[in-house]
Amino acid sequence: MSALPAYASTGQRIWHYTFRYVICGFILFFLIAPILTIIPLSFNAENFFTFTPAMLSLSPEGYSLKHYQDFFTNSDWQQALKNSFLIAPAATILSTSLGTLAAIGLSQSHVPFRRAIMAILISPMIVPLIISAAGMYFFYSRIGLQGTYWGVVLAHAALGTPFVIITVTATMVGFDRSLTRAAASMGADPVTTFFKVQMPLIIPGVVSGALFAFITSFDEVVVVLFLGSAGQKTLPWQMFTGLREQISPTILAVATIMVAISIVLLSVLEMLRRRSERLRGLSPS
């Protein structure tokens, strides 16, 4: 497949190109087209969800920034944006700090009940969101956290920790233990060793874990829908109600901005992955 041999028959050539360009091309189109379609649609001058004749003829009257203007001036959207940026960083800090500590603990060579502990720590990722949301709603209303800022932050932090655990333990796997021993033999205490030797090496894992945790909270809608009150309305929540009730093209503008954010995050993650592999002496692939 990788390279068609010179002796390939015509049939093989036809199949090779059909497979590569028609079948795979179609599937990749299916994957990417919906996301790409909404980008031009978000510049629609009309309140339609389809391409107007003016847009198709590429005339400038067909395009406008009015949906973006609406997003940046509408108080509902701005409040939602603000809430998202209040909740996600707090949840990220909580889950990253606790998660990194636990991941370091889990990477020690002797951890009693490792499997059971791992199962519990990973469980927020396994349990369907609707069930987590239901349980948290019942439990948090018992203890008065339902409808509060901290309730949402705690819930999001819990949902984000499995990602931190997974990414940080993955970096710890390639970690050379003789480095900490070397530091200790030269008289460094455990705290210095951690910050001077261990931390710089695992930092790519920690940062990508933090990014995952951030995205988890920033994208999360089911739990916040149940746990939050009007005061904690986040961007996804606002999009969800917008899609369910009065669908407005502003949603497409928001969606486009969020696609841009995910492209930035994806590039950062890829950079971190390469850096981490280089640091650990693996050849980047």
Partner 1 sequence: MSASTTVSSTSGSSGASGPLTNDGQPLKRSLARALRREKFRALLLISPLLVFILVSFVMPIGDMLFRSVENKIVEQTIPGTVRALASWDADSAELPDEAVFAALADDMMLAQEIKIHTRLGSRLNYDQPGISSVFRKSGRKIKGLDHEAAMAGFIAIDPAWGTPEAWTTLRNMKAWPGKFPATAQSWDNWKAWYLSEEKEELDPATTIPHGFTYAALYHDLAAMPASSIDAFATSKNTDAAALFKNLVGQVDSIPSDDFKAQFADIEKGWAELDNWQAIQRLSPRIVDSYFLAAIDAERTAEGIESKPDNERLYLKLFVRTIFMSLVITGSCILLGYPVAYLLANLSVRASNMVLILVLLPFWTSLLVRTSAWKVLLQQQGVINDLLVWAGVINEAGRLVMINNMTGTIIAMTHILLPFMILPLFSVMKTISPTYMRAAKSMGASDSLAFWRIYFPNTVPGIGAGSILVFILSIGYYITPELVGGTTGVFISNRIAYHISSSLNWGLAAALGSILLILVLALYWTYDRIVGIDNVKLG
Site string for partner 1, 227-246 (x = CB under 8 A): ---------x--xx--xx--
Contact between 17 and 10 (Cβ < 8 Å): no
Span near partner 1 by CB under 8 A; candidates 59-67, 75-83, 198-206, 251-259: 251-259
What single-letter amino acid sits at 60? P
Closest CB to partner 1 among residues 83, 167: 167
Closest CB to partner 1 among residues 65, 101: 101
Alpha-carbon gap, residue 186 to 3, rounded angstroms: 54
Q: Is 279 in the site for partner 1 (CB under 8 A)?
A: no
Q: Is 222 in the site for partner 1 (CB under 8 A)?
A: yes
- To partner 1, the closest distance from the beta carbon of 57 in angstroms equals 14
Site string for partner 1, 147-176 (x = CB under 8 A): -------xx-xx--x-x-xxx---------
Q: What are the backbone dihedrals phi and psi of residue 63, each rounded to the nearest 5 degrees, phi first? A: -115, 150
Q: Is 81 in the site for partner 1 (CB under 8 A)?
A: no
Q: Is 263 in the site for partner 1 (CB under 8 A)?
A: yes
Q: Which residues 2-31 are close enough to bind partner 1 by CB under 8 A?
A: 2, 12, 15, 19-20, 23-24, 27-28, 30-31
